Amino acid sequence: MANVIGASLKRKEDPRLLTGNGRFSDDIQLPGMLHAVILRSPHAHAKIKKIHAEEALKSQGVVAVYTGKDLEGKIGPVPSSWLVPDANLKEAPQYPLAIDYVRYVGDGVALIIAEDRYVARDALDLIEVEYEVLPAVVHQKEAMQEGVPLVHGDIENNIALHWKAGEVADEIINDAEVVVRESFYVQRVFPSPLETRAAIGQYDAGSGELTLWCTSQNPHIHRMVLSDVLGISEAKLRVIAPDMGGGFGGKIGVYPDEALVGYAARDLKRPVKWIEQRSEHFTASNAGRDEIIDVELAGKRDGTLLAIRVKNTANLGAYLSTMGPGVATIDFGLMITGAYDIPHASCETFGVYTNTTPTDAYRGAGKPEATYQIERIIDLYAREIGMDPIELRRKNFVRKEAFPYTNAQGLLYDSGDYEKPLEKALETLNYEELRQKQRELSKQGKLIGIGFSTYVELCGFGPSEVAGAIGFQGGVWENSTVRVHPSGKVTVYCGTSPHGQGHATTFGQVVAEKLGIPMDDIELVFSDTKSISMGWGTYGSRSTAVGGAAVSIAADRVVEKAKKIAAHELEASEEDIVFENGKFQVKGVPGQQRTFQEIAKSANMAWNLPEGMEPSLEAQSFFKPENFVYPFGTHAAVVEIDKDTGEIELKRYVCVDDVGRVINPLTAEGQVHGGIAQGVGQALWEGAVYSKDGQLLSGTLMDYALPKARFFPRIESAFTETPSPVNPLGAKGVGETGTTASIAAVMNAVMDALKPYNVKDIEMPLTSEKVWRAIQDGEGN
Amino acid sequence: MAIEDREVTVVVNGQERSAAVEPRKLLVHYLRDDLGLTGTHIGCDTSQCGACSIMVNGEAVKSCTMLAVQAEGSEITTVEGLGSIEHLHPMQQSFWEEHGLQCGYCTPGVIMAMLGLLKENPNPSEEEIREGMEGVICRCTGYQFIVSAVQKAAKLMAEAEEQKEETLVANLVREGTHNG
């Protein structure tokens, strides 16, 4: 099967999912299964005085109620997995159920187990908790002030971490011809996978094995962390991620709830199922972003950029989530210069505890925020010096010849050609003509805006040594085994854990091309710690660049061994064997050949193998990349604003992404579309709203505006391909590009439209009211 | 507290099925938990997401907005009743070909909602399709390829309908000749 890589194949996953044959967590029914619900705190901050569970326990069908006190000493705290070094990190232990204090609305207080999910829900109302309500703190900048309530009594000023990278001398800023300053708030949003979280535990008393099906983007990380929390050997804990209805970062985290379900299943020796409700999800599942970013960009009047100085004050919520500490520090702070050759950069980040749900990685994790601040400030800079924003970008782009390029924060960008997607996007937009039209329409009083985001992002986590150096509690290499059965059919085991990305198809394409066999002969296995020895999961656009690379190398190794067997059988030297279209052929001797299937049989039968060769045809690769990968591109939005109502219409959206070598253009484009929808959602509609006392006011799908189909024009998407030298596929990552790029593109378009009123910033999401007010308060009104 | 269970009988995907359920049980739970039809999914608790959309007596309905007892005697179609893996329904086939799904969680509901749309409007414009998706949420696709899938499905279904008519006419003509 030649040229399978790069083909827009239909997905292997789909027929099953299209016919109701998927197997999601809630579809799993086990004999004797119990149902769990979690009673959660209605207060943002309170002392638990007493919990009365008697009524609930008396209720027919209720099997058990556990409180934090009941579990003390039996189940450990759930730790963060990103212990950022040199940041004075203060980790407060998060016990699976609150013991003395609740620290956010949604904090778990009691676990109820019942025979039926309706009975379990009823029992929620039968538990009475006596609280002493305490003052709460919600906003991160307020939380750092003196005299405010402390989320954790022993952590001063609620500062969880203080991190710095890079240095910009004051003189550079003070002496610069131009300094543009702005403060941006990248608001708290919810990843909102359409399937909420879930966990099902089953304990086998005979073997002592606990099986946990749970909505995890990284089952092996769950196994590693939970074995510790539950005090069970990794060899006795099997974590399986079933079909998952999306993740977007929200299912990276190892949550208290999963530990509770595992504990109860083992304690009660009956299967226990917990399915999170949507309204519960809003407070119980990690949110994303919530960073206040103060930026100073300094340079010359001719557009030469010299320095960027950034301060990020990040709301980490009440506890440190699995990846939370790394997002506003490493992921954000090392990427603040974006696609530009800015010689001086510094970032100072405060991570702050508040009485809110913890924040964690959400699609892009730090990179959308980094892109947002640089792409927004560069537009303001262009406005300040009266230069076209495209010209300013071009002037400061990292040049094509400069790759591999080390940015001011020390990251080595693997490959790039930033002009290429920009050119293509401008051409698609018909930029000059569009500007002309904008001017004409402006004369008629219409507000049209054109905005760009020429982003670069860090993906493909990552080199293990770097992970260690930045405090990440994981190896983040990848693992794949390609197993060839006697028939020549193949099973491929992977350590990444897809949940909508379509890796059974794209990784299958890699194997089909390498082994010259049909797609239908290849089965992919993911997401089960019992069949896959190790792996680090799917997040940070790492799956293809790291996991796909492992698949590719393992497949190459299979071919290498198969070639030796073919040479032996054909009595030719290995060098004379050519492998093409699934056949091993003696060079220049037509007819002297073996098919892949024949060699598969020979290898497995081992009747006549080369001397010293071990039987079977199977290879494994543990791929540890030497660097991250850096996708880039240009996104452009065209908006029209209704002056009288402040309503924004997204008229056009053009994107040209360079994600390295594209394995399947169809699924890659799907990823781009989905990413854009989430980024545009952040810019225009989505946003968590907390009251001052820490009540989440946007806690259902009636109050939180997820994007709908009618909000979008047809996205005009294209790719350029600049291969990465970091992995044998030349692939970068595509899952997050859309989100990373689009927030700034849309915001810049709106700001461009509001230029006549000299509006420089409006806090996202851009509701009609905010836009209308900005117009009313703007210059000339 | 306990209210007596009621026997609920419905015709699901052409088969008569019944189970005794609590009167307060949601139709979606009845389908999933009592009848084992887990293709219909639950994405929210406020009837916004539409993942649980099914056909009740030929109309697209969110099955979290009905009690099982309210469905007594009705004819229900869930995603399991459309096509099989071997023989996909044109709507399913179109979703496959146009990459109208990623995680697949919203998909059964979206498919049902879109079948409801095509029933009312067999040849919708792109705008009408987008408007028609008001009751469903997809977090993965950005909707564009769903729109393409529905456009394709509309075409395939219209063609199938035409073919059916042609065959019918041909049969009538043949019968006519026969009888004549």
Q: Are residues A757 and A660 in the same domain?
A: yes
| Arithmetic mean of pLDDT, B36-47 | 97
Q: Are residues A259 and A112 in the same domain?
A: yes
Sign of torsion, CA A151 A154 A159 A161?
negative
Residue A536 pLDDT greater than 50, yes or no: yes
Residues A391 and A447 in one domain: yes
The verdict on A430 and A492 lying in the same domain is no
Tell me the per-residue pLDDT of A642-662, one tens digit each, with 9 for 90 and over.
Answer: 999 999 999 999 999 999 999
Q: A544 with A650, same domain?
A: no
What does the pLDDT look like over A111-155, one tens digit per residue?
A: 999 999 999 999 999 999 999 999 999 999 999 999 999 999 999
pLDDT of residue B179: 54
> Given a cut of 80, is residue B14 above it in pLDDT?
yes
Q: Quick check: is A9 in a domain? A: no
Q: Where in chain B are the domains?
A: 1-81, 82-175
Residue A110 lies inside a defined structural domain of this protein? yes
Residue A56 within any structural domain of the chain: yes
CA distance A191 to A281: 10
Which is the CATH superfamily of the domain at B1-81? Beta-grasp domain (3.10.20.30)
A671-710 pLDDT tens trace:
999 999 999 999 999 999 999 999 999 999 999 999 999 9
Same domain, A614 and A633: no
Q: Is the pLDDT of residue B5 over 80?
A: yes
d(CA A143, CA A140): 5
A257 located within any domain: yes
Residue A504 and residue A555 in one domain: yes
Residue among B38, B63, B140, B150 with most chain A CBs within 10 A, to mutate:
B140
Return the structure tokens found at A213: 């099906």
> Do A718 and A583 fall into the same domain?
no
Which residues pair with residue A131 across a beta bridge?
A: A48
Tokens 């040049």 sit at which residue?
A399
Cα separation, B62 vs B59, whole angstroms: 10
Beta strand A593-595 with A617-623 is unpaired
Which tens digits make up the pLDDT trace of A549-583?
999 999 999 999 999 999 999 999 999 999 999 99
* Closest chain B C-alpha to A448 CA, distance in angstroms: 22
> Does residue B78 register a pLDDT over 50?
yes
- Burial (CB < 10 A; 0-12, 13-18, 19+), residue A442, is middle
Residue A700 maps to a domain: yes
What are the tens digits of pLDDT across the range B91-145? 999 999 999 999 999 999 999 999 999 999 999 999 999 999 999 999 999 999 9
Question: Does the pLDDT of residue A217 top 50, yes or no?
Answer: yes
A to B CB pairs, distance under 8 Å: 188
Q: pLDDT by residue (tens digit) across A339-353?
A: 999 999 999 999 999
* Same-domain status, A209 and A319: no
Mean pLDDT score of chain A:
97
Distance from CA of B176 to the nearest CA of A (A): 40
Are A254 and A322 spatial neighbours (Cβ–Cβ below 8 Å)? yes
Contact residues, chain B, for A11 at CB < 8 Å:
96, 99
What range defines the domain where residue A729 resides?
291-461+627-777
Pick B82-175's CATH classification: 3.40.190.10, 3.90.1150.10, 3.40.50.2000, 1.10.150.120.
Answer: 1.10.150.120
Question: What residues of chain A lie within 8 A of the CB of B38, using their CB?
Answer: 20, 23-24, 26-27
Q: Is the predicted pLDDT of residue B180 greater than 50, yes or no?
A: no
For A603-628, what is each residue's pLDDT tens digit? 999 999 999 999 999 999 999 999 99
Comparing CB atoms, the residue among A24, A117, A277 nearest residue B41 is: A24
Query: Which residue is closest to A23 within chain B, CA to CA?
Result: B38
Q: How far is residue A638's CA from residue A449's CA, in Å, rounded to a whole number?
A: 6
Domain boundary among A595, A623, A651: A623
Residue A462's pLDDT is: 86
Q: What CATH number does the domain containing A225 carry?
A: 3.90.1170.50
Q: Which residues of B touch A121 (CB under 8 A)?
A: none
Check CB contact under 8 Å for B143 and A701. no
Q: Cβ contact (<8 Å) for A500 and B45?
A: no
Q: Give the number of domains in chain A.
A: 3
Name the nearest CA neighbour of A731 among A478, A523, A533, A558: A478
Q: Is B88 close to A15, i.e. CB distance below 8 A?
A: yes
DSSP string, A661-722: S-S-HHHHHHHHHHHHHHHHHHHHT----B-TTS-BSS-STTTS----GGG---EEEEE---
Closest chain A residue to the Cα of B146, Cα to Cα:
A709
The alpha carbon of residue A662 is apart from the nearest alpha carbon of chain B, in Å, by 16
* A376 and A404 assigned to the same domain: yes
Q: Tell me which chain A residue has its CA closest to the CA of residue B107.
A: A18
CA A675, B60, B22: angle at the middle one, nearest 5?
105
B99:A700 CB<8 A:
no
Contacts of B137 in chain A (CB under 8 A): 194, 701, 706, 708
Interchain contact, B49 vs A11, CB within 8 Å: no
DSSP string, A169-187: -HHHHHT-SEEEEEEEEE-
Are A634 and A584 within one domain?
no
| Final residue of a structural domain among A623, A641, A674 | A623
Which of residues A598, A623, A648 is at a domain's end?
A: A623
On whether residue A175 sits in a domain, the answer given is no
Residues of chain B contacting residue A245, judged by C-beta atoms under 8 Å apart: 41, 43, 103-106
**Tokens representing residue A94 in the block:** 């998060």
Q: What percent of chain B has pLDDT over 90?
A: 87
Q: Do residues A585 and A562 make contact, with C-beta atoms less than 8 angstroms apart? A: no
CATH of the domain at A600: 3.30.365.10
Q: Is residue A313 part of a domain?
A: yes
Q: Given an 8 Å threshold on Cβ–Cβ distance, is B141 in contact with A195?
A: no
CB spacing of A193 vs B139 below 8 angstroms: yes
Identify whether A533 is part of a domain.
Answer: no
For the stretch A252-275, pLDDT in tens is 999 999 999 999 999 999 999 999
Contacts with A248 from chain B: Cβ below 8 Å: 139
Q: How confident is the model at residue B3 (pLDDT cuts 50, 70, 90)?
A: confident
pLDDT in tens, A197-209: 999 999 999 999 9
> How distant is the Cα of B73 from the closest Cα of chain A, in angstroms?
23
Q: Which of A10, A60, A709 sits opposite B143 (nearest CB)?
A: A709
Q: How many CB atoms lie within 10 A of CB A585?
A: 20
